[in-house]
């Protein structure tokens, strides 16, 4: 059966893989700028600017009445932050180091490390951005009140995981059809500008319109996050576990596709791309 040395070898390989994923995630975080601190500040500033722009649009468009009774910024952040975490993770995983990239020539490197590093880096950036924005808002403007913060954070993790799952499918498709994979990634991001439901409440949608949104895990996660964030909002048209089930199904398809692609990858693909 299983010998102690085999068990130790398994745990050692697992620890070594996790260490490589952490190292790759640090590399991805620092890619945007040579200075790690400035790189992080740039990413945080991007999130803050996007939230600020949407807040101005929301106020000047006269849509405050459509929001939940409560803090307008928290209402917007429950949509915008989850939307950004989803599409940025999707894009980062889809564009991670492929089977024919220069990094893959290094022996410890493999697709799991590339995918894990890209996803972990985006999770770190998004969580840090949310923490900084909420801290500044709490100290400068008004105290932040979130009814169930752990539930809201769980929804952030769920959209990150769904972005990871869809990104793996795009990652597996990219060596075969690089242009199509890039186009699909952009299309999903643009489609989620509306289909995510970040600017309206699922409870206010008529039943004839709901089927156009219920397929989207981001739509369920944002609506559930608002249920956790606000004490006076109860999601009635979305399901808490849909993003997780959707992500698990998609990630299985993506990993099968990645395994198939990895075994058939050719160095000549890099030349034709």
- Considering only CA atoms, which of 242, 100, 272 is closest in space to residue 171? 100
Model pLDDT, residue 269: 55
Query: How is 102-128 classified by DSSP, letter by letter?
Result: GGGGSTT--HHHHHHHHHHHHHHHHHH
pLDDT tens, 133-146? Answer: 888 888 888 888 88
Six-digit token pair at 17?
A: 């893989």
* Domain ranges, ordered by start, for the chain: 21-263
- HEC assignment per residue over the chain: CCCHHHHHHHHHHHHHHHHHHHHHHHHHHHHHCCCHHHHHHHHHHHHHHHHHHHHHHHHHCCCHHHCCCCCHHHHHHHHHHHHHHHHHHHHHHHCCCCCCCHHHHCCCCCHHHHHHHHHHHHHHHHHHHHHHHHHHHHHHHCCCCCCCHHHHHHHHHHHHHHHHHHHHHHHHHCCCCHHHHHHHHHHHHHHHHHHCCCCCCHHHCCCCCHHHCCCCHHHHHHHHHHHHHCCCCCCCCCCCCHHHHHHHHHHHHHHHHHHHHHHHCCHHHHHHC
pLDDT tens, 199-216? Answer: 778 888 888 888 888 899
Where does the pLDDT of residue 38 fall: very low under 50, low under 70, confident under 90, or very high at 90 and above?
confident
Average pLDDT on 215-242 reads 90
pLDDT tens, 102-111? Answer: 666 666 777 7
Model pLDDT, residue 89: 92
Judge whether 167 and 87 are in contact, CB under 8 Å: no
Average pLDDT on 145-163 reads 91
Model pLDDT, residue 32: 62
Six-digit token pair at 122?
A: 């985006």
Whole-angstrom distance, CA of residue 120 vs CA of residue 175: 23
Judge whether 170 and 93 are in contact, CB under 8 Å: yes
Mean pLDDT, the chain, whole residue set: 81
Whole-angstrom distance, CA of residue 155 vs CA of residue 127: 12
Pick the more confident residue, 48 or 102. Answer: 48
Where does the pLDDT of residue 1 fall: very low under 50, low under 70, confident under 90, or very high at 90 and above?
very low
Q: Enter the pTM of the model.
A: 0.86
Model pLDDT, residue 20: 75
């Amino acid at each position: 059966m299983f010998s102690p040395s085999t068990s130790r070898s398994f745990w050692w390989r697992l620890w070594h893989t996790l260490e490589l994923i952490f190292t790759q995630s640090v590399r991805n975080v620092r890619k945007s700028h040579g200075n790690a601190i400035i790189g992080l500040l740039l990413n945080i500033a991007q999130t803050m600017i996007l939230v600020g722009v949407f807040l101005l649009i929301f106020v000047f468009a006269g849509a405050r009445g459509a929001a939940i009774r409560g803090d307008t910024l928290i209402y917007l952040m429950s949509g915008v932050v989850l939307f950004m975490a989803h599409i940025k993770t999707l894009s980062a995983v889809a564009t991670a180091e492929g089977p024919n990239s220069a990094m893959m020539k290094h022996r410890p490197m493999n697709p799991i490390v590339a995918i894990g590093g890209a996803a972990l880096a985006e999770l770190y950036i998004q969580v840090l951005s949310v923490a900084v924005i909420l801290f500044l808002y709490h100290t400068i403007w008004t105290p932040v009140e979130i009814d169930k913060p752990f539930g809201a954070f769980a929804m952030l993790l769920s959209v990150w995981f769904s972005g990871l799952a869809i990104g793996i499918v795009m990652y597996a498709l990219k060596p075969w059809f690089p242009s199509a994979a890039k186009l699909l990634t952009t299309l999903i991001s643009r489609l989620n500008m509306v289909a995510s439901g970040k600017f309206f409440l699922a409870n206010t949608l008529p039943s004839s319109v709901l089927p156009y949104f219920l397929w989207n895990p981001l739509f369920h996660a944002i609506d559930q996050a608002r249920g956790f964030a606000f004490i006076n909002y109860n999601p009635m048209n979305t399901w808490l576990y849909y993003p997780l089930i959707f992500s698990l199904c998609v990630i299985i398809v993506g990993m099968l596709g990645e395994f198939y692609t990895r075994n058939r990858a050719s160095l000549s693909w890099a030349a034709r791309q």
